[in-house]
Amino acid sequence: MKGPIVFLTLALVIMSMAQPAEGFLHHILRGSIRMHVANRILK
């Protein structure tokens, strides 16, 4: 029964930490998606 509680706590910590860096994470996500699409087109 310990696993899910630890996971939830970890998720909450990560989410609270990600608040200021949300724009940064969004930028990385968009960049990676764009690179993935570019690789698809080039191949």
With bands split at pLDDT 50, 70 and 90, how would you rate the model's confidence at 3? confident
The span from the CA of 2 to the CA of 11, in Å, is: 14
The span from the CA of 22 to the CA of 15, in Å, is: 9
Overall number of domains in the chain? 1
CB of 25 closer than 8 Å to CB of 18: yes
Say what the pLDDT of residue 27 is. 78
Task: Print the domain residue range for 23.
Answer: 2-42
The span from the CA of 18 to the CA of 6, in Å, is: 18
What's the predicted TM-score (pTM) here? 0.39
- HSE (side-chain half, CA atoms, 13 Å) at 11: 6
Closest by CA position to 21, among listed 33, 31, 9, 29 = 29
Say what the pLDDT of residue 20 is. 64
Say what the pLDDT of residue 1 is. 58
The tens digit of pLDDT for each residue in 10-43 reads 888 877 776 666 677 777 788 888 888 888 888 7
